[in-house]
Amino acid sequence: GNSVTQMEGPVTLSEEAFLTINCTYTATGYPSLFWYVQYPGEGLQLLLKATKADDKGSNKGFEATYRKETTSFHLEKGSVQVSDSAVYFCALSATNTGNQFYFGTGTSLTVIP
């Protein structure tokens, strides 16, 4: 079956620190992979995506590379800001399962000045 495992939080970093949030997946077929971000009191917003192996998604300084060999899609940012404090969700979607989205449990990030 399809599933996503992402690193447990919460994560607390100082401003300008390097961020990595690990995400691994299990999927039958060839999924597309996503990172969504949820700011306090809001719905989820797409942060970045990759639709095939070796693709790199990037947005707002965040990056993630679709690694088929390690079934991973780790989220990275070189220098976090206080405004990056949010919950980050890794997700996959596979057309062979009717386009369902499978989300990880979310990783809460707090950036302190």
Residue 17 or 101 having the CB closest to another protein: 101
Q: By CB under 8 A, which span of 15-23, 42-50, 61-69, 78-86 interacts with another protein?
A: 42-50
Phi first, then psi, for residue 15 (nearest 5°) are -55, 140
For residue 79, give both structure tokens. Answer: 């220098």
Task: Examine residue 89 and tell whether it contacts another protein (CB under 8 A).
Answer: yes
Task: Examine residue 69 and tell whether it contacts another protein (CB under 8 A).
Answer: no
3-state helix, strand, coil in the chain (%, to 5): 5, 50, 40
Contact positions vs another protein (CB under 8 A): 31-32, 41-46, 49, 51, 89, 93-95, 97-106
